[in-house]
């Protein structure tokens, strides 16, 4: 997961991910979208490949890059755990529901006795 987070830390790499998310692209096509050298784009692609966020596919003599959504799995799972309510929150919610239910039941039974 550290490699993924490190790869996502760079805005150029995030831009590359946005590009290859839409369709597979060659390194040259990717480089055309940035004002950096082709060797710099190649280095960014290597980081993304090593982190598992993109994979390369050979088609003849050309190499294309595509997004690999599976590379986000560990990070996505970790973020889901961090953003989910803590386990005790569910217990408090259940207790609150039960308190309301009990108050309603007592209120209804009290009205029935007075009528």
Q: Give me the pLDDT at residue 103, please.
A: 85
Confidence band for 75, pLDDT divided at 50, 70 and 90: very high
Tens digit of pLDDT for each residue in 2-38? 999 999 999 999 999 999 999 999 999 999 999 999 9
Per-residue model confidence (pLDDT) at position 111: 58
Q: How far apart are CA 89 and CA 95, in angstroms?
A: 10
Q: What is the mean pLDDT of residues 49-74?
A: 95
* Predicted confidence (pLDDT) at residue 96 exceeds the cutoff of 60: yes
Q: Indicate yes or no: pTM above 0.75.
A: no
DSSP string, 42-71: HHHHHHHHHTTSEEEEEETTEEEEEE-GGG
Q: Is the pLDDT of residue 89 over 70?
A: yes
Q: What is the pLDDT of residue 62?
A: 92
CA distance 38 to 99: 65
């Amino acid at each position: 997961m550290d490699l993924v987070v490190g790869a996502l830390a760079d805005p150029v790499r995030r831009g590359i991910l946005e590009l290859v998310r839409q369709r597979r692209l060659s390194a040259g096509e990717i480089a055309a979208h940035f004002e950096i050298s082709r060797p710099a784009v190649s280095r960014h692609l290597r980081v993304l490949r090593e982190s598992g966020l993109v994979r390369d596919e050979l088609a003849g003599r050309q190499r294309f890059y595509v997004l690999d959504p599976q590379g986000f799995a560990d990070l996505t799972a970790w973020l889901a755990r961090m953003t989910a309510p803590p386990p005790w929150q569910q217990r408090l919610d259940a207790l609150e529901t039960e308190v309301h239910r009990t108050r309603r039941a007592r209120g209804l039974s009290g009205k029935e006795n007075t009528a």
